[in-house]
Structure 1
Amino acid sequence: MRAQTLPPAAGWRWLAGGFAIFRRNPPVLGMLVVAYWFTVLFLNVVPILGALLASLAIPGLSVGLMQAAQNLERGKPVGLQTLYGSLKENPKTLLGLGALYLCCTLGILGVSALIDGGDLLRYMLGGRAERSALEDNDFTLPALVVLILLVPVLMAYWFAPVLAAWHKLTLGKSLFFSFVACWMNWRPFLNYGLGLLLVSAIIPGVLLGVLLLIFPGAQGFIAGLVMMPLALIVAPAIFASFYASYRDIFGISEIV
């Protein structure tokens, strides 16, 4: 196993590859993404241990979605067993990755709380009334600190679950090789991030704005009729693009 250094344009190809894989079977991949969301939501509502259980499950579930993308690319069958079956691949390491990611996230939020007294955290987790009361606060510094600290965590975590599950690497090695692969390919990842911003925020935002200008009194109708189906197209394609990035950096690029 060796990570390749790819040209900057590869980041755009990953996103295009994600949409190409999604077109292979939109209903099935969409169903698996919805099942992923509902599983995480269900675990989160478990009293006391909800956030921990969800964090422990996410690495295995993310591998399941990557397995589904690979199966679709190769013309193999895909079902719910594809999503949940990956929980059994190197389970101790996957659970450890989930626990470590939760600890890192909490640690980063703790650092931001030391800077602003916890205002950013309350704004993120609070209700509408609490967010309204904090809207005038300046979150620039704590948000910047969170971003700076979170980027290396995301780099170490990006490929770690699939490296642990498919290559049977230990927790430390999976994090290390993931970080190195992302570092070697920071240029394509920069383009990939811009592409994600474009398809998940800018284009939907512009579309929503135009529709609200045309139909100013139909906000709820537009959200239900247009934005939800759009999310069910964009989200599965983005999950499939995660696999495309792994495939091109660690594996043999296949024509989709």
Structure 2
Amino acid sequence: MSRLTITRPPGTAGVAWLAQGWRLFTGGVIAWMGMAAMSLLAVMLIGSVPMVGSAIVELLSPFLVAGFMVASRAARAGQPFSFYMFSNGFLDAPQQLAIVGAVYLGASLIAQWVMQAMGGEGFKLLFELAQTRPDQVDPAQAELILHEALPAMAVGLLILTPALLATWFAPALVLFDGFPPVRAMYWSLWASVINWRPMLIYGLWLTLAGVVAMLIPFGLGLLVFVPVAMASSYIAYAELFVKTQPPAEAEEEQAPAEGDA
């Protein structure tokens, strides 16, 4: 297992991560778009399985992320990469990545249950309107959504956000640094918390880019957004987690701190 230091870049680093992710993408557009198309197709096919499709997608998401991380590392080193790198997670760390996926799936299910329990009729109404007629909301429906659905969604977001941050860098830490899954998720969460400024700026710009990508017809925007998002996430990982000299055996199990860990 690698010994790492968690760095503290400035808030503007969030924008720099996206810029470097874009440069990696433009260095191999065809290969990146091919990987994005394959991953999106897999998500669509698996997600279409009745009852359990979305759960399986969340469970397998760390494996897809791991594949993109391997491709990003190769691209940054000027090496060729392709969709076959999706197999790395399944071959190198299947149990560890499955645990990461199970934790995120569990948090997602808890968040959904809480939102449905708190939101009541307002949450059901919001879901129905989003699926059918979002432009036809009367004042009574708007009040119901405002007083029931939105608070429930806020609580669900509070539950899901720590899980998202804990699993954000975990696949890379498991695959590249040999971290056990729980330790990897702890480090990922801790690094995100102490670097909340660049992570917040990065997340806001990434969300905006994702919204724009969703508006482009035929999913073409996603073929660009997904690779840039994954490549920039690798850049963030590489900047936040820096290898240090091997520690003495007595220090090997120290908890992560702002400096050495």
**TM-score where L is the length of structure 2:** 0.79
Equivalent position of 1:2 in the other structure: 5
2: CA distance, partners of 1:125 / 1:35: 31
Equivalent position of 1:108 in the other structure: 111
Q: Given the superposition, is the C-alpha separation of residues 78 and 204 from structure 1 closer, same or farther in structure 2, using an over 3 Å criterion?
A: closer
Higher relative contact order (CA 8 A, sep 6+): 2
1: CA distance, partners of 2:126 / 2:87: 34
Q: Given the superposition, is the C-alpha separation of residues 125 and 161 from structure 1 closer, same or farther in structure 2, using an over 3 Å criterion?
A: farther
Equivalent position of 2:179 in the other structure: 169
2: CA distance, partners of 1:141 / 1:54: 27
CA contact (8 A) 1:10 1:188 kept: yes
Identify which of 10, 14, 18 aligns with 1:15.
Answer: 18
**1:208-242: CA deviation from partner (whole Å, max 9, x where unpaired):** 7xxxxxxxxxxxxx835xxx433322332122111
Equivalent position of 2:256 in the other structure: none
Identity value in percent: 26
Equivalent position of 1:58 in the other structure: 61
- Cα deviation for residue 127 of structure 1 reads 7.4
1: CA distance, partners of 2:57 / 2:106: 13
SS of corresponding position for 1:110: helix
- Cα deviation for residue 40 of structure 1 reads 1.7
Q: Given the superposition, is the C-alpha separation of residues 31 and 8 from structure 1 closer, same or farther in structure 2, using an over 3 Å criterion?
A: same
- Cα deviation for residue 122 of structure 1 reads 6.8
- Cα deviation for residue 128 of structure 1 reads 2.5
CA contact (8 A) 1:200 1:234 kept: yes
- Cα deviation for residue 124 of structure 1 reads 4.4
Superposition pairs for residues 10-159 of structure 1, below 5 Å?
Answer: 10-117=13-120, 119-120=122-123, 123-124=126-127, 128-129=131-132, 136=142, 137-138=145-146, 139-159=149-169
**1:3-40: CA deviation from partner (whole Å, max 9, x where unpaired):** 11111111110010110100110110111011111112
Letter in 2 for 1:188: P
Equivalent position of 1:246 in the other structure: 237
Equivalent position of 2:246 in the other structure: none
2: CA distance, partners of 1:121 / 1:163: 39
Letter in 2 for 1:165: L
1: CA distance, partners of 2:58 / 2:217: 29
- Cα deviation for residue 67 of structure 1 reads 1.0
1: CA distance, partners of 2:203 / 2:182: 26
SS of corresponding position for 2:190: helix
- Cα deviation for residue 161 of structure 1 reads 1.5
- Cα deviation for residue 54 of structure 1 reads 1.9
Between stretches 17-26 and 86-95, larger displacement belongs to 86-95
SS of corresponding position for 1:77: coil
2: CA distance, partners of 1:87 / 1:58: 12
**TM-score where L is the length of structure 1:** 0.81
CA contact (8 A) 1:17 1:241 kept: yes
CA contact (8 A) 2:21 2:228 kept: yes
What is the number of residues matched between the two proteins?
A: 233
- Cα deviation for residue 119 of structure 1 reads 4.3
- Cα deviation for residue 183 of structure 1 reads 1.0
- Cα deviation for residue 82 of structure 1 reads 0.9
Equivalent position of 1:212 in the other structure: none
2: CA distance, partners of 1:49 / 1:26: 33
Q: Given the superposition, is the C-alpha separation of residues 53 and 147 from structure 1 closer, same or farther in structure 2, using an over 3 Å criterion?
A: closer
Between stretches 19-28 and 163-172, larger displacement belongs to 163-172
Identify which of 215, 218, 222 aligns with 1:231.
Answer: 222
SS of corresponding position for 2:7: coil
SS of corresponding position for 1:2: strand
CA contact (8 A) 1:21 1:72 kept: yes
